[in-house]
Structure 1
């Protein structure tokens, strides 16, 4: 799957954070809805977009951006403020010099899982070179 290494890198960063040890982080590939009540906080990571452009005519060097969706699911018992606080900690954990943009959704309810959901889409710069 495309962006597997980049998604795994973010997953390892989030799993190693002491501030986020109360959240289970998993890779959401492939994403499939499953009507299950959540009993604990869960965060999923999935590749979102890849946009590369050639930087020269005769070689295979590319520059562009890729995005990863980070979905946080927080059971109703924790309350919606917990979702915002946890997402703030996730954003702070991922921030680095390669981050070009962050888009944060509003909080929504997921009735089938009895939880709140909030999504952050992180866009990163990417340089890619393929040797001929």
Structure 2
């Protein structure tokens, strides 16, 4: 039996055709387009509660004319403290009914802007906030 070089192998097929590769890529794209939105949905009740708290703390910062730090702990307990130092005056506190996705330490300025404190991460509920107005974008 004589072996032929690969280019003379006749009907022997090695690999995939371009059409097969494109069909698989299209199917993967469709599947990911269907699944992706569910990965990024937040809980609306948690989001609206967080937005209400941030709005109240922002209003307090503007009225007082000083920076206010919003801290949210692992249990969902939150505190608004005047100033950025650890020994500031406690302005308000409460308990989130739905725990935030991540812990946060948010700084709200007297001009109405907000930003995460150094080393802090925005939770999912705050991810859509505009740092200049500290409000959710219009829908």
Which TM class, normalised by the smaller chain length?
A: under 0.3
Higher relative contact order (CA 8 A, sep 6+): 1
- Which has more strand, going by share of residues? 1
Q: Which has the larger radius of gyration?
A: 2
Tell me the TM-score normalized by structure 2.
0.26
Tell me the TM-score normalized by structure 1.
0.27
